[in-house]
Amino acid sequence: MSEDRSLFGDGRYPEAGPLAVLARLSLLGAGLAIVVAKFLPPELVPDFVRSPNLQHFAAFYVLALCALAAMPRARLRTVAVGVAGFATVLEALHLLSGAPLGPLTDNWVADLGGVSAAFAPLIVERFRRRFPRG
């Protein structure tokens, strides 16, 4: 039998396949977009939603999804800690630049909420797989 190389099959997908490369590029792009948005003056950053906390949540949700797609063999915990560490370092750097602590804490919690929301379905699915069907 031939190996299933379709996009949604169970077979292996090539390391250098177009979607694998796109996943890595999207991780790089999302990470760079967050860094640029973090250090630009607030008036230059477009508001995608009304709440800054929701923007942080959405940005790190997307970043976590991109990281999961870009690193399919990495352990979930490793990817989650990496993305959460990235959020922590960014907020700490912003704090060192003189930003007030209160809003940065809110931003950091929203960042971690986005990361958690991206990982929650995967963790629940792993739990569900432990209960075989009849």
Say if 4 falls within a structural domain.
no
**Which residue shows structure tokens 């640029």?**
36
Convert the pLDDT of each residue in 70-127 to its tens digit.
Answer: 999 999 999 999 999 999 999 999 888 877 888 889 999 999 999 999 999 999 999 9
Say if 47 falls within a structural domain.
yes
Q: Distance between CA 64 and CA 113 in Å, rounded?
A: 11
Closest CA to 52 of 91, 17, 92, 85: 91
Q: Distance between CA 26 and CA 2 in Å, rounded?
A: 31
Say if 97 falls within a structural domain.
yes
Say if 6 falls within a structural domain.
no
Say if 5 falls within a structural domain.
no
31: left (phi over 0), alpha (psi -120 to 50) or beta: alpha
Greater confidence (29 vs 20) lies with 29
pLDDT at 132: 87
Q: Distance between CA 111 and CA 17 in Å, rounded?
A: 31
CB 30 within 8 A of CB 62: yes
Convert the pLDDT of each residue in 32-78 to its tens digit.
Answer: 999 998 888 878 878 888 888 999 999 999 999 999 999 999 999 99
Number of domains making up the chain: 1
Q: Is the pLDDT of residue 1 over 50?
A: no
Say if 85 falls within a structural domain.
yes
Say if 7 falls within a structural domain.
no
Q: Is 80 exposed, middle or buried (0-12, 13-18, 19+ CB in 10 A)?
A: buried
Q: Distance between CA 14 and CA 12 in Å, rounded?
A: 6
Sign of the torsion formed by the C-alpha atoms of 92, 95, 100 and 104: negative
Q: In which domain, by residue range, is 84 found?
A: 18-128
